[in-house]
Structure 1
Amino acid sequence: MDLNELYQEIQDRLRKQLALIIGTGSSISVDFDFGMGALESHLKSVIPMVVKGNKQAESEWKLVLENLDRKVDFENSLNVVKSDFLLESIIAETGKHVAKVSYKNISKISIGNIPIIALFERLKHALSYTNPIIDIITPNYDLIIENALSHCQIDYNDGFYGGIQKKFDWGESEQLFNRIENNSKTGKIYPKVYPHIRLHKVHGSLNYFVKNENVYRNDSLSYFESIDDYERFIITPGETKHKRIVENRHFYLEMDKAIDRARTYLFIGYGFNDIDIDKKICQNINQVSHRAVIVTKDLIGNAKTILDKNPEIIAISDNYNGGATIRYKGTELEHNKPIWQIDEFANEIL
């Protein structure tokens, strides 16, 4: 298959019912400090002081550091965490770190210096009353996707509704996008869904909070590093996150539906380290009716294994020679442009 045929295949795939899975690679394009490496460094520097005096937390954090010293990845290193105090400390410090990095970049973000905007501008034209919904699934805590969508004047629903402190309820939030139309010829009234993005922040968000066992969204509190009376709704890496996912399974039902509804998955800067997302998607990719495109700097995590098992996936990554490598059906094609960068991908192919 030549380059033009590949372009056509990608374009055809993205015209079908689409779900975007956006990882930290998208946020790193704004500031590298949004990445897991920077978070790891932050936790290493502050957690020893935060947990000092709590024997169980100190002991478990020591095991985390030993895992990291043995080159175990950050997510699996945190699997030893069982202490509620240590987990709560990691959640609080993760929130502080993401808030600090977000505030540092607030000027850049507010003027739209966000590469993924180039993709959203093109996807905007795919939204219509006949194709009213595109799903975005992300484990990212920051608000870069929300800002990018707003710059493109694309409405989105993340499952919350209400005033300054929004409540979580997908059924209620969806009512905001339902319209009643009157057919001028027949006089009949019929419902329509207003075109929009459904945003699934499956590991929580900088503006999501827990109080009295309820999840709220309060944008006005997003960039504060410390907030009294509220706990950020953030699910950190490691096995402990799966416990919290099970406890809050209703929070993920719409993501499950989005994965099943999609016919094409577009992975952007995604590391394939989130079992709760990957397992369900990989079950669908194995079916003939589903297709996938990966756009990322490096094929990390379980990406290469998934590619080997599913050669129909089109994967675009950095070739470290100023361009990109495109993998498809067991073959590799070199490209002289860095189309692994999402703005380059959008401008070149879409």
Structure 2
Amino acid sequence: MSDLNFEKQAQDYYGKAPLIILGSGASAAHGMSGMWALANHLVANTDTSGLSDAEIEAWEKFCRVLKDGVDLESALYQVAATEELTSRIIKATWSLISSEDIQVFHQSLQNQSMFPLSRLLRHMFDSSLSKINIVTTNYDRLAEYACDQEGAHHYTGFTHGFFRQRAEPSEISSARRVNIWKVHGSLDWFKSPLDDIVALSNIQGIPANYKPEIVTPGTQKYQTTHLEPYRSIIHNADLAITAANSFLCIGYGFNDEHIQPNIMSKCQRRNTPVTIITYTLSDAARKLIHDGKTQNFLAIERGATDDHSIVYSSLAKTPVTVEKNIWSLEGYLSLIM
């Protein structure tokens, strides 16, 4: 029987007011599609009418690669997609994620305790904190909905309202605020006919002459994120990561080159504590905690069933199996509240 006191370790790391990192696993807990479901959707629903022969050939290669079992992100990197083909992939991606996002929002209207993230934010604000930073690679607005359900103001780089324009953090003032740095864009970001980026609230379709601003995996990913507003968002996310005293990673796989180098540098060079809670630890996350360079970590993944958890700790040489759910955000809250 291990004498690891993971509850105290979780509380100690949480007591440092962690920066929250949300990955796709955080949204999957609410039924949002993961990469495999998105891949199948793209194959079935991407509009290829009117594409050139070269674009059709590239698309067919992409579909073949997926059917051979290659993951979506790797498959998209193998396809030299033109701007037009990329635009159609983005629209098909937006269509799936947006419909699921709206469904979650409607569910939340009937369930005031739907988001564990709301309770986490409430608990964090029950201190002297006036600002909380969330960094996410997700397009969906579940973090924003969680803030709304808690009654906390949130800032994503834009003004408030229905037709929102870009605004500096200093322009938005409130007693308490959650900064949500969406490094790959958001379902409500669009390029307008004036070629600027705006955010449109309360819509369920893509307006005429507007283009969704989300960054899908693929060869154009890094080119796009050198442009605004991504450049400023990533810069602010980096500032938040640099200032963080602790990290709480929820469903994050450490597979995004925009943010994880700085996170890993903080953990490995500054010994910043990191807590990881997830359904299944990714290979990159396992490397982070097993290569001996990270000195302060607590990682928890699902065990054999939902009511089992496997705990990996920098304070223990071997993993510990716990017969309760502490791998989900809901379960993790039982450790710190």
- TM-score (norm. length: structure 1): 0.86
Q: In 1, Cα distance between the equivalents of 2:127 and 2:163?
A: 30
1:345 maps to amino acid: Y
1:326 maps to amino acid: V
Q: In 2, Cα distance between the equivalents of 1:45 and 1:311?
A: 45
Equivalent position of 2:308 in the other structure = 323
Equivalent position of 1:81 in the other structure = 80
1:333 maps to amino acid: V
Count residues with an aligned counterpart: 327
Ranges in structure 1 where 5+ consecutive residues have no aligned partner = 178-193
Displacement after TM superposition at 1:127 (Å): 2.4
Equivalent position of 2:180 in the other structure = 199
The answer to whether 1:43 aligns with 2:42 is yes
The answer to whether 1:292 aligns with 2:279 is no
Query: Which among 53, 58, 68 is matched to residue 70 of structure 1?
Result: 68
Displacement after TM superposition at 1:172 (Å): 4.7
Contact 2:311 2:320 in 1 (8 A): yes
The structure with more helix, counted as a fraction of residues:
1
Q: In 1, Cα distance between the equivalents of 2:243 and 2:180?
A: 14
SS of 1:233's equivalent? strand
Q: In 1, Cα distance between the equivalents of 2:177 and 2:233?
A: 20
Equivalent position of 1:2 in the other structure = 3
Displacement after TM superposition at 1:349 (Å): 3.6
The answer to whether 1:281 aligns with 2:268 is no
Contact 1:157 1:173 in 2 (8 A): no
Ranges in structure 2 where 5+ consecutive residues have no aligned partner = none
Q: In 1, Cα distance between the equivalents of 2:126 and 2:113?
A: 24
Q: In 1, Cα distance between the equivalents of 2:156 and 2:169?
A: 11
Q: In 1, Cα distance between the equivalents of 2:233 and 2:296?
A: 31
Displacement after TM superposition at 1:89 (Å): 0.5
Q: In 1, Cα distance between the equivalents of 2:164 and 2:254?
A: 31
Matches within 5 A, 1:213-232: 213-221=195-203, 223-224=204-205, 226-232=206-212
The answer to whether 1:254 aligns with 2:236 is yes
Structure 1 residues 196 and 105, CA gap change in structure 2 (3 angstroms): closer
Structure 1 residues 293 and 51, CA gap change in structure 2 (3 angstroms): farther
Q: In 2, Cα distance between the equivalents of 1:36 and 1:114?
A: 27
Show CA shifts across 1:179-238 (max 9, x none): xxxxxxxxxxxxxxx2221111111111111123322111122x22x3211111100112
Displacement after TM superposition at 1:122 (Å): 3.7
Matches within 5 A, 1:150-161: 150-161=148-159
Structure 1 residues 17 and 277, CA gap change in structure 2 (3 angstroms): same
Displacement after TM superposition at 1:170 (Å): 2.1
Structure 1 residues 209 and 172, CA gap change in structure 2 (3 angstroms): farther
Query: Which among 329, 332, 336 is matched to residue 345 of structure 1?
Result: 332
Contact 1:139 1:203 in 2 (8 A): yes
Show CA shifts across 1:238-273 (max 9, x none): 232111111231232211111111111111011222
1:209 maps to amino acid: F
Q: In 1, Cα distance between the equivalents of 2:51 and 2:246?
A: 50
1:2 maps to amino acid: D
SS of 1:227's equivalent? coil
Equivalent position of 2:296 in the other structure = 312
Equivalent position of 1:19 in the other structure = 19
RMSD (CA atoms): 2.1
Q: Identity, % of aligned pairs?
A: 24
Matches within 5 A, 1:84-123: 84-112=83-111, 117-123=115-121
Equivalent position of 2:143 in the other structure = 145
Contact 1:160 1:170 in 2 (8 A): yes
Equivalent position of 1:242 in the other structure = 222
Equivalent position of 1:267 in the other structure = 249
Worse overlay, 211-220 or 61-70: 61-70
Q: In 1, Cα distance between the equivalents of 2:73 and 2:87?
A: 16
Displacement after TM superposition at 1:301 (Å): 4.4
